[in-house]
Amino acid sequence: GQQVMQIPQYQHVQEGEDFTTYCNSSTTLSNIQWYKQRPGGHPVFLIQLVKSGEVKKQKRLTFQFGEAKKNSSLHITATQTTDVGTYFCAGPRGGADGLTFGKGTHLIIQP
């Protein structure tokens, strides 16, 4: 079945450093979504990318969807302590409704 893989699994950064997480799918995706989960919280939707090569920005966050629509990345510029959490990418479940989530990248920020 369809798989969504994320790297790295953990990322430690100093506050103010940049952070990037990468997502790869075994199949072409019609769209990809990103979610953030704070420690002890639930996943919260960040963004959806639909078009090949699409780039979207939300303040310090930049999201990209690959040309082949099989990979995506999330880049955070100048991390802040409020960015702490786990970032998940998710793609449609190959012909079925619902999403397949990656295992997430846990962002740990050291002040």
Under the binding rule (CB under 8 A), the answer on residue 102 touching other proteins is: yes
Q: CB under 8 Å to 53, separation ≥6 — which residues? A: 64, 65, 66, 67
* Interface pick for other proteins out of 48, 62, 73, 77 (rule CB under 8 A): 48
Q: How many angstroms separate the CA atoms of 47 and 35, rounded?
A: 7
* Interface pick for other proteins out of 30, 81, 82, 111 (rule CB under 8 A): 30
Under the binding rule (CB under 8 A), the answer on residue 108 touching other proteins is: no
Which residues of this chain interact with other proteins, rule CB under 8 A? 30-31, 33, 41-45, 48, 88, 90, 92-93, 96-104, 106
